[in-house]
Copies of this chain bind each other. A is one copy, B any other.
Amino acid sequence: MKIALAQINPTIGDFGGNTAKMRTFYERAAELGAELVMFPELATSGYPPADLLEKDSFLARAAAALDEVATWTAGEGKPAVLVGSPLKSEAVDGKRARNVAALIDGGAIRFMQQKMLLPFYDVFDEQRYFEPAEAQALVLVKGKPVAITVCEDAWNDKAFWPRRQYAVDPVDELMRQWAMLPPHIGGERVILNISASPYWFGKEKLRREMLVALALRHRAAVVLVNQVGANDSLIFDGASFAVGPDGRVIAQAASFREDLVVFETTGASEVEAVAPAHAVAEMWDALVLGTRDYVRKCGFSKALIGLSGGIDSALVAAIAVEALGAENVAGVGMPSEFSSEGSVSDAEALAKNLGIKFSLLPVRGIFDTFTGVLAEDFAGTAFGLAEENLQPRIRGTLLMALSNKTGALVLTTGNKSEMAVGYCTLYGDMVGALAVIGDVYKTEVYALSRYANREREVIPEATLTKPPSAELRPGQKDTDSLPPYEVLDPILKAYVEEYCSVDEIAGAQKVDAGLVRSVIKLVERSEYKRQQAAPVLKVSRKSFGMGRRFPIAVKADV
């Protein structure tokens, strides 16, 4: 069967825009001779629509979108469509919506496979919204049988996972049914999977390995179409692909951009699977897409970044320039009396390298006015946290004033290491619409920054080599308060992403248990900051934000 993988980038709730986009892909696929055009999971609405699914009007618009798609398929020789959409549930009890793959052909919806396995972990909330399928069934497309699955339905192979999230396996059931088909109908096994599978570093590889294992075990072609594009915190990498029954890749779409790939399921020719030349490049591409889509889908075009001369803000600026264009990015230097000389000169050099506007707004005068007003309340106290935090809060207020005046979104520059231990100021440097590198550890910030310089020096050498400092008091260094990032980051990763215990971390990393405990205490005590943080672009298995839900008022032993 000749199949088109229509890897589109939908906007949540934009049924009109999403179907218009789908139509363009459909027509191109038809020209290329496709018999079946596959769109991703929930393609009509975009994924994830979250609580919009609780609105009847939203589900009604989704149904109307499917009806519109049906009109394209009327008439001789038109390709069929397999498309994901939310729909009102028909169940008497239970959830009001269902997540379906609709098979549309000859002007009408011919079949709907409801999603059975509804993920509910990390960033997924599907059991909140959807009634699961009660059964799976094979269906004919242009006279040939196919097994239709929706994302997670193909992610429960008992031979692949050490512990499974669900007791049932829809693919097993479908393949059982296939084995009972009469030989003249059966033949080449084809498992279709429409997905909206969010990105984290390494996910593409896992997805490939898993579906190859599935293909080999069931001696079936496995065809996956995945959503591309970012919606709030979630980045979808696309990278749709198909493998033959022998596990060879027979079709491969691009990563991190829209794509249309038409291929023959029985095609013998092997296709080269895309593998990023550089592991860091994958994360870079994800962050660029995430930044671009967030800014644009929110209806903005410009971004504003506080440039400290440090590496975090330099990296965010470099990402923003690739995402939005240099003409749409502006940097602001806001030195205080504790800022180093390099603070301004390095920021200026960066702005020059990137070709972005740079302005300088000194913080000192405002700081002095604040401390003047607070003089009575602060009398007799030493310079401390209050005075330190004043500086980033003044900067945050300046950035928001410029944002309000110019209509540019502020991008936050904090990294995951800082957000983890609370080494950041709420309403200060945490101000912004999007935490671009909020899921990137400081050690990864260095790797990404070197990648940003792969062709020419964008981020100044001085920025790359100076010791990290918040520059909020004289001579301050990050290492005054924290272990070196080479020590800190692995502890954080083990604790935040893998839920390891103090002893496990101390043992595996050969560090002092007391140090590990003190780091964990910092993580737990700064939960309140993270709950007021800007959305974080997710690039790891466990990022701060929607997929990590910890209470604030807690008394937990460490």
A553 & B127 in contact (Cβ 8 Å cutoff):
no
Q: Does A531 contact B (CB under 8 A)?
A: yes
When the two chains form the complex, which single residue of B93, B433, B499 contacts A55, counting CB atoms closer than 8 Å? B499
Q: Does A205 contact B (CB under 8 A)?
A: no
Q: For A402, give the chain B residue with the smallest CB separation.
A: B377
Q: Does A166 contact B (CB under 8 A)?
A: yes
B433 & A405 in contact (Cβ 8 Å cutoff):
no
Contact A551 B12, CB 8 Å, known A128-B121, A431-B427:
yes
Q: Which residues of B contact A387 (CB under 8 A)?
A: 401
B167 & A93 in contact (Cβ 8 Å cutoff):
yes
Q: Does A476 contact B (CB under 8 A)?
A: no
B553 & A293 in contact (Cβ 8 Å cutoff):
yes
A361 & B374 in contact (Cβ 8 Å cutoff):
yes
Contact A553 B166, CB 8 Å, known A369-B365, A386-B404, A400-B389:
no
Q: For A405, give the chain B residue with the smallest CB separation.
A: B386
Q: Which of A164, A376, A398, A556 has the most chain B CB atoms inside 10 A of its CB?
A: A556
Expressed in whole angstroms, the Cα–Cα distance for A166 and B94 within the complex equals 5
Q: Does A160 contact B (CB under 8 A)?
A: no
Interface string of A350-367 (1 = CB under 8 A from B): 000000000101100110
Q: Which of A165, A433, A551 has the most chain B CB atoms inside 10 A of its CB?
A: A551
A51 & B553 in contact (Cβ 8 Å cutoff):
no
Q: For A124, give the chain B residue with the smallest CB separation.
A: B128
Q: How far is the CB of A535 from chain B (nearest CB, A)?
A: 7
B11 & A554 in contact (Cβ 8 Å cutoff):
yes
A402 & B373 in contact (Cβ 8 Å cutoff):
no
When the two chains form the complex, which single residue of B231, B381, B548 contacts A551, counting CB atoms closer than 8 Å? B231
B370 & A401 in contact (Cβ 8 Å cutoff):
yes
B54 & A499 in contact (Cβ 8 Å cutoff):
yes
When the two chains form the complex, which single residue of B94, B390, B532 contacts A167, counting CB atoms closer than 8 Å? B94
> Mind listing 20 A-B residue pairs with CB under 8 Å?
A12-B555, A12-B556, A13-B556, A48-B551, A51-B549, A51-B550, A55-B499, A94-B164, A95-B165, A120-B125, A294-B553, A297-B555, A298-B528, A365-B369, A366-B369, A378-B405, A396-B427, A427-B431, A531-B535, A532-B533
User: Which residues of A are in contact with B by a Cβ distance under 8 Å?
Assistant: 11-17, 48-52, 54-58, 61, 92-95, 120-121, 125, 127-128, 163-167, 231-232, 293-294, 297-298, 359, 361-362, 365-366, 369-370, 372-374, 376-378, 381, 384-387, 389-390, 393-394, 396-398, 400-402, 404-405, 426-427, 431, 433, 499, 501, 528, 531-535, 546, 548-557
